[in-house]
Structure 1
Amino acid sequence: MKRRDFLKGVAATGVLGATGFPGIWTKSGNAWASNNEIPVGVLFSLTGPVAVVESTLQNACLMAIEEINAEGGIHGRMLKPVIEDPASDPATFADRIRRQVLRDNCVSVFGAYTSASRQAVLPVVEQHDNLFWYPTLYEGRECSRNVMYGGAVPNQQQQDFVPWLKENFGGRFYLIGNNYVYPREENNVCKMILDDIGGEAVHEEYVPMGHSDFGSVINRIRDMKPDVIFCTLVGDSDVAFQRQMHAAGFDPETMPVASLTRSEIEVKAMGGAAAAGHFSSAPYFMGHESAANHRFVEAYLNRFGQDEVTHFVNEAAYFQVYQFKAAVEQLAPSDITPLNIRDAAVGLRMLAPQGEIEIDPNLHTYLWPKIARWQADGQAEVVQQSARRMAPDPYWAYEDQMCTAEGLVRT
């Protein structure tokens, strides 16, 4: 079956639905599918400091699985979600995905939010030639052939954002993030851009995951008077920081917090009033006007509650399940393996809630960069949007390296 664009298969019960055909396939020594089921791993934290975000990724992933099963599954087989809670701990991520791959025979695993967790599962999926679908924005500088990257990389968030912030507010940036690989690498990219455009990082600091007392940070910000607070805090830390900034009376008109990680879910937790006037850069916001997004939001709220929100990471957690489905449908039943699914996925286009997306040969995703200002009602007003989808370049800030279909290339 030839690879095809996947633009028009919008089913009544799913934003990205389509039908399959019956078939049976096995892996030597293990059944990839049996009893009319295809086991897929679902590996998102339901406890711990990033559960506030990861639980909503699981919601979106399971919603897509339910929609696909309601339409007859894939090749006549139902998707069987094998759910584990890695509890926001990278070591537990590695242990649980090993179970899903070896014990449960999952043909792919969907999961994770932090880069630390992604890096923890990477050796497992590479050793066992499985496929990990990672929906989250991340820092780039990775080129695994066993990971499907659905989230934004630095060029898709910072290339337009940092110059826009300097132009509108000034070039003195205060960098604050959690102490792990993602914030440190994103801040390195931010500093490179600032150097190129005549800005500067006046201060840079990191706090542990789950950190919640930002009194000393706020005092330093008050003393240093930066133009922009560039924030790569995640989960509970971001919520606590913004609440305390708001309580301290900082004016977003003169000193905005500019975040790469803050979405509707964090804003809901901190309160719209605390976030109002500050900015985020992301490929998707809940208020995006499109028929596909209206269907996605309506289905999500009907499934999980009218007071819930969609955001740019759970949108990717949703569309990646449909990318998996579309890739499997390109293969003859006897050819279904994790790596064949990977190869079939390259070049697939589909209409996601944010717009038409495509999987690049480097296994990252073409996305639609947007800059938005948060409103008191918890929603985001887009103030600038890319006129076209942007190609993913995970080594964009490093001219001597690039990620290709063959892997990392050094020039």
Structure 2
Amino acid sequence: MTIQRRQFMKTVAAAGAALTLPGYIRSSFASGETIKVGALYSQTGGLSVVEKMLADGVQMAAAEINAAGGVMGKQIEVIVEDGASDPKTFAEKAQKLVIKDKAMTVFGCHTSASRKAVLPIFERRNAMLFYQTHYEGFECSQNVIYSGAVPNQQLGNYIPWIIEKLGKKKFFLVGSNYVYPREMAKVTKGLIEAGGAEWVADEYLELGHSEWAVMVNKIKESGADVVLSNVVGDSIISFYREYINQGMSHKDVPICATVTSEIEIAAMGPEYAEGSYTSFPYFMSLDLPSNTSFIERYRAFVGDPKALTYHSLEAAYFQVFLWKQAVEKEGGLTADAIRAGIRGQTYAAPGGEVKVDEDNLHCWLTPRVGQWQSDGQSKVVNEYPAPIKPLPYAAYGETAENLFCTPQGLDSSKL
């Protein structure tokens, strides 16, 4: 990693970025001369392939900030801990970071299970967790900054577009059997019915399930003209391959997903996903100078000229800059200072401007729909003109005019 990072700094300097190698080397200062933050992601286990990328995103952002002078004149010291793809281990490592290392801010977790496991520690110790993955909503913590999408930012544009632009009227909902797919299905059903369409099935298979023949056959026999997929992890690869192997076509009955990203497309082979769709705020294919630069710098940082970027990686990266801005605005590292300083903060992220909502500490993001192409990249076929307000309780009736999650916390009387 040291060699890769040196190469990263050389590449960025050659590109004319405002980074300096001496500033980067200073990140090895003694504890009293640095600002400690945690990067809590799986470095081992089944989730490590993806979560190592998220840790890289955090460390890359910290390296860039350090090279530009640091935070309040001090260098960031990133302490990486391994959640080992296990919620219990995540909780143990979170406690170590907050109590022993005195890292008042931790960037980390990828799954809702790991986030839920560590949340009591951050709330009890009044520390801050920055969580970058799109999730199911239904959470309103004053100790978490949520930089990934919530359901209204993935589905509010997506379902009406499928009905109106693709002309699809019969939805087959399929997902992995845990909280995210089920909560996403709740929002989806309401939007389907509001659009004058119908859902003909709502089916689930266990996490990691790899035998999809029976499920695909159910889809074929259901009369559905579109599949809304909330399938996650390695199951995505098995599902898409079985779908095509059974003669299904994305042209006739497309899979429209909320999870499938550049990472899964590369793993399954683009031919199995070509013509299907995903809704995300960020795609690697975005034709923006900020994104082109981000991809180049990320590839240099990890030492892989073909490395992929994807939605959660982008959020893991930009959330570090939001944290920096909050710390410098308030002049403090405590959770109270970060909460006060981060509300309303904006940042020009690789995928466009983002903003931390003043009410609920979630990020305003731009909804987009991408259609997967033969090269494994997406073509953005639908895009909002600007970021939209996050509504983490949209499935339960929350609107911009009737907020459940407020600066004071959750108004449970509205649930």
TM-score above 0.5, yes or no: yes
State how far apart, in whole Å, the 2-side matches of 1:52 and 1:248 are.
29
Once residues 161 and 336 of structure 1 are traced to their aligned partners in structure 2, the CA distance between those partners, rounded to angstroms, is 38
- Matching residue of 1:4: none
Shift of 1:200: 2.1
Q: Structure 1: which amino acid aligns with 2:408?
A: E
Q: Which amino acid aligns with 1:234?
A: V
Match in the other structure for 2:109: 112
Partner of 1:30: none
Residue in 1 that maps onto 2:406: 404
Is contact 1:170–1:227 with CA below 8 Å preserved after alignment? yes
Give the share of equivalent positions with the same residue, in percent: 42
What per-residue deviation string (whole Å, max 9, x for no partner) do you get for residues 81-104 of structure 1? 111221222222212111111111
Equivalence for 2:3: none
Is contact 1:47-1:88 (8 Å) kept? Answer: yes
Matched letter for residue 409 of structure 2 = G
Is 1:243–1:274's contact at 8 Å kept on the other side of the alignment? yes
Amino acid at match of 1:147: V
- Work out the CA distance in 2 between the residues paired with 1:227 and 1:48: 37
Q: Return the letter of the residue paired with 2:315.
A: A
Conserved 8 A contact 2:152-2:394: yes
Q: Distance in 1 between matches of 2:17 and 2:93?
A: 29
Which residues of 2 match residues 315-330 of structure 1 at below 5 A? 315-330=314-329
User: Which of 125, 130, 137 is the equivalent residue of 1:128?
Assistant: 125
Residues 105-142 of structure 1: per-residue CA shift (max 9 Å, x gap): 11211111211221111111111111000001111111
Matches of 1:257 and 1:55, distance apart in 2? 28
Query: What secondary structure is seen at the aligned counterpart in 2 of 1:320?
Result: helix
TM-score of the aligned structures, taking structure 1 as reference length: 0.89
For the aligned residue pairs, the C-alpha RMSD in angstroms reads: 2.1
Q: Distance in 2 between matches of 1:174 and 1:91?
A: 35
Measure, in 1, the Cα distance between the counterparts of 2:82 and 2:240.
28
Query: Any unmatched runs of 5+ in structure 1?
Result: 1-11, 20-32
Distance of 1:157 and 1:17 partners within structure 2: 34
Q: Distance in 2 between matches of 1:93 and 1:15?
A: 39
* Cα distance in structure 1, aligned partners of 2:42 and 2:213: 28
Aligned equivalents of 1:300, 1:274: Cα separation in 2: 27
Q: Quick check: 1:16–1:350 contact (8 Å CA) kept in 2?
A: no
8 Å CA contact 2:19–2:64 kept in 1: the answer is: no
Question: After the TM superposition, which residues 15-34 of structure 1 pair with which residues of structure 2 at under 5 Å, given as runs?
Answer: 34=31
2:311 alignment partner in structure 1: 312
- Any stretches of 5+ residues in structure 2 without a counterpart? 1-11, 21-29
Aligned amino acid, residue 349 of structure 1: T
CA contact (8 A) 2:346 2:355 kept: yes
Deviations 1:275-329 (Å, cap 9, x if unpaired)? Answer: 1100000111111122211111110122221221111110000000111111111
1:139 corresponds in structure 2 to: 136
Distance between the aligned counterparts of 1:17 and 1:287, measured in 2?
25
Aligned equivalents of 2:335 and 2:346: distance in 1? 19
Pairwise CA distance, 1:213: 1.7
Q: State the distance in 2 between where 1:108 and 1:260 align.
A: 29
Structure 1 residue 402: Cα displacement: 1.5
Q: Does 1:202 align with 2:195?
A: no
Amino acid at match of 1:151: G
Corresponding residue of 2:261: 263
| Cα shift readout 1:234-265 (whole Å, capped 9, x = no counterpart) | 22111221122222221101111111111111
Pick aligned residue for 2:212 from 211, 214, 239 = 214
Query: What's the secondary structure of 1:136's corresponding residue?
Result: coil
Q: Aligned partners of 2:167 and 2:405: how far apart in 1?
A: 34
* Residue number among 68, 73, 76 corresponding to 2:70 in the alignment: 73
Check the 8 A contact 1:114/1:182 in 2, yes or no. Answer: no
> Does the 8 Å CA contact 2:330/2:340 hold for their aligned counterparts?
no
Deviation of the 1:17 alpha carbon = 7.9
Task: Provide the C-alpha distance between the structure 1 equivalents of 2:67 and 2:185, rounded to a whole number of angstroms.
Answer: 43
**Aligned partner of residue 299 in structure 1, secondary structure:** helix
Number of residues paired by the alignment? 385
Query: Cα distance, 1:169 vs. partner?
Result: 4.0
Cα deviation, residue 72, structure 1: 2.6
Matched with 2:353 is: 356
> Contact between 1:175 and 1:231, CA under 8 Å: does it hold in 2?
yes
Q: Which residue of 2 aligns with 1:151?
A: 148
Amino acid across the alignment from 1:289: D
Q: Deviations over 1:203-228 (max 9, x none)?
A: 12222222222122112112213111
User: Contact conserved, 2:371 with 2:378, CA < 8 A, in 1?
Assistant: yes
Matches within 5 A, 1:7-46: 34-46=31-43
Summarize the Cα distance change of 1:381–1:139 in structure 2 as closer, same or farther, 3 Å threshold.
same
Partner of 2:92, secondary structure, is helix
- Other structure's SS at 2:50 match: helix
The code of the aligned residue for 2:404 comes to: M
Inter-CA distance 255–84: structure 2 relative to 1 (3 Å threshold): same
CA shift at 1:57, angstroms? 1.3
Matches within 5 A, 1:237-256: 237-256=235-254
Q: Does 1:175 align with 2:173?
A: yes
- Report deviation, 1:397: 3.1
Q: Which has the higher helix share?
A: 2
The 1:65–1:110 alpha-carbon spacing in structure 2 relative to 1, beyond 3 Å, is same
Structure 1 window deviating more from structure 2 (198-207 vs 291-300): it is: 198-207
Bigger mean CA deviation after superposition, 242-251 or 386-395: 242-251
2: CA distance, partners of 1:51 / 1:15: 33
Structure 1: how far apart are the matches of 2:45 and 2:175?
A: 18
Q: Structure 2 CA distance, aligned partners of 1:353 and 1:62?
A: 16
Q: Tell me the SS of whatever aligns to 2:263.
A: helix
Tell me which moved more, 211-220 or 362-371: 211-220
1:295 maps to 293
Q: CA deviation at 1:338?
A: 2.1
Determine if contact 2:55/2:80 at 8 Å carries over to the other structure. no
Instruction: Give every structure 1 segment of 4 or more consecutive aligned residues whose post-TM-superposition deviation is greater than 4 Å.
Output: 12-19
